[in-house]
Chain A
Amino acid sequence: MLEKAFEGSKKYWAWIFFLGALALVGIYYYLQQFMYGLGITGLGRDVSWGLYIGQFTFLVGVAASAVMLVIPYYLHDYKTFSKVVILGEFLAISAVTMCILFIMADMGQPMRVMNVVLHPTPNSVMFWDFLVLSGYLVLNLLIGWVTLGSDRKGVPPPKWIKPFIYLSVPWAVSIHTVTAFLYAGLPGRHFWLSAIMAARFLASAFAGGPALLIILSLIVRKVSRFDPGKEPIQALGKIVAYAMFANVFFLGLEFFTAFYSGIPGHTDSFKYLYLGLDGHTELVPLMWTSSVFAVVSLIMLVIPAARKNEGSLILACIMLFISLWIDKGFGLIIGGLVPNPLEQVRTYWPTMPETWITIGVWSIGFLILSMLYKVAISVREQTAGVEIEH
């Protein structure tokens, strides 16, 4: 089946080479970082986590969103999703791979990564993150490959794959909960010290991931002969709407706790992000964009006419994705580290090499996604008209 990723039109290969070129630029700058040290980034003693960890945090959510297709289809027999579940699983593979690459890019001593395996530390949330992310990658590779292979032969998948599929549901929830726990258990970081951190992560994951899937499905319809269908996209749209409502609601809850209590430890970070603190206003335009996009996209998703129109749906999804990317991929991390534990405002902005490495990792992720989708699309095109049973 993999050979289908190497057969394609000129446009397909142009896209692959474009992504490959971006990936090479990213690798070039990563080698610079490897030789010089992480000082090549904008990180510092106070904001010691930035773009890389933010991207990883955001992408864990995108990866977990495959479960929004798996639950209806496998647990509740929602046949509408029969043709698109594979797109969710392949997106999960691509997203988890990007997570792992971002973590490797962020490490000071990446050659020592096996120390996490040689010296397991169950009290460390990061140890568990390593385990659940690797496990989720293996799970999705296995499930995606086996089910697609069976679809291609026109038969139901083997029975032994079912337990793995059922396992992937709590596992998807776990990767996100564990990642949220990285932040939610640190006594010195009041912006992160919230009981609903994991809930917020799940809500934004279940909104952002399916939104990306809608965008990708519409692209797939345009560039190939495989049409995921109007119904799955509408069903995803409803899921996105509910999840986004939860997400915006939870953000409102955080605002309330911070500002109604008035405790500086909680309000300072919000002030830095949305108003500026001590004259530092770098993140203000971004954060307001994120919030405005979030509210506008939510309204567009909730109004049935706007959701049913695929033009406005895709616009809402794009705005939503950007909003969540800013919020989780940038605002959350930096907001937690500014001001620093001594209440000094020391800020952060990514440097050019750092940005290129980030673009490089995204390109590698999209490369994997494009090639896997090419395989899935080819199988669907071949088996068009055949009823899929799982």
Chain B
Amino acid sequence: MSMDRRQFLKIAGISSILGFGASVANATHPIWVKGLDPSQVEPNKDALTAKRWAMVVDMSKFKTDEDFKKTIDACHLTHNVPDFRNPDGSVDTRKEIKWIWKAAYENAFPGQPNKFMDEHLKEMPFLVLCNHCDNPPCVRVCPTKATFKLPNGITMQDMHRCIGCRFCMAGCPYGARSFNWVDPRKAINPERENKEYPTRTKGVVEKCTFCSERLEIGKMPACVEAAPKGGLVFGDIEDPNSEVRKIVSTKYTIRRKSDLGTGPAVYYLIGGSDHA
């Protein structure tokens, strides 16, 4: 039979497409299509639940460097966050990964300080973290829903699905997100590793998850537990009896860049208070 090159290429092309299609059909194996049956899964009875998790930060309770270190370390050690500090203690500002950290007042609340403000006030440290916004730009821009809102208000991160495009990092108005530029395991101390939580791998974005995995077994977020008493208050802001709700509705609190419409869920208490 005689065939010219063009016909041969056409037949080869169509065969490849059919072959590819057949392999796709294989992916409709029952377990993929069915998924898990609702009778097969069950939430934990001890899980802490909320309509809307929120946090109040009372910086007046953080008095010493040790207070800050304990709080930040609790988070970073629980979650195997790598430590890219250089031997001389200086920070590698490019590779560093931080879920919660200390920022000066003029950085945490840019646009607030005035030129007559005391330097000491401008440099006053604040704890900053992901605000788990109501209307998060990061979730809006993620092309794979690797970052998404949980029904309880937490802005969650699925490190399995993240393709590392870093659009969420560009979208976050608070600089709350970090990227794994290299394999993080090089910078994790194996002696202090938390064996019950994974690490990440290079090429994915990570950030604070309001300790979703701890809430599910009835524990408060690590930072909240480690902070000085009353420093970080965590609760369900939609529950009229919760402490966060009481503080936010009766005392003066501010949120970072609240004019952007993101609806942050982390409130900073002004003036300190005697709440328990």
Contact = CB atoms under 8 A, between A and B. Distances in A.
Q: Is there direct touching of A and B in the complex, by C-beta distance under 8 Å?
A: yes
Contacts of A187: 137, 171, 173, 260-262
Main secondary structure of the interface of B (DSSP, over half): loop
B48 to A, nearest CB: 28
Chain A: interface size category: 35 or more
Given A124-B140, A186-B141, A108 B164 contact: yes
A146 to B, nearest CB: 13
Nearest to A119: B144
A103 to B, nearest CB: 8
B110 interface: yes
Nearest to A41: B181
A123 B140 contact: yes
A122 to B, nearest CB: 10
Main secondary structure of the interface of A (DSSP, over half): loop
A109 B182 contact: no
B141 A44 contact: no
A114 to B, nearest CB: 9
Interface string B120-145: 00000000100000000100111111
Interface in B135-182: 137, 140-146, 161-167, 169-175, 178-182
A38 B203 contact: yes
A116 B137 CA distance: 18
B169 A48 contact: yes
Interface string A248-281: 0000000000000000110000000000000000
Interface residues of B, number: 48
Interface string B96-129: 1100000100111011000000000000000010
B175 A341 contact: yes
B164 A346 contact: no
Interface string B14-45: 00000000000000000000000000000000
A346 B95 CA distance: 12
Given A187-B261, A337-B170, A112 B106 contact: no
B181 A127 contact: no
Interface of B: 93-97, 103, 106-108, 110-111, 128, 137, 140-146, 161-167, 169-175, 178-183, 202-205, 257, 260-262
Given A108-B202, A121-B144, 19 more contacts: A37-B202, A39-B94, A44-B181, A45-B93, A45-B94, A45-B96, A45-B97, A46-B94, A48-B166, A48-B179, A49-B166, A106-B165, A108-B204, A109-B163, A116-B144, A116-B163, A118-B144, A182-B167, A342-B108
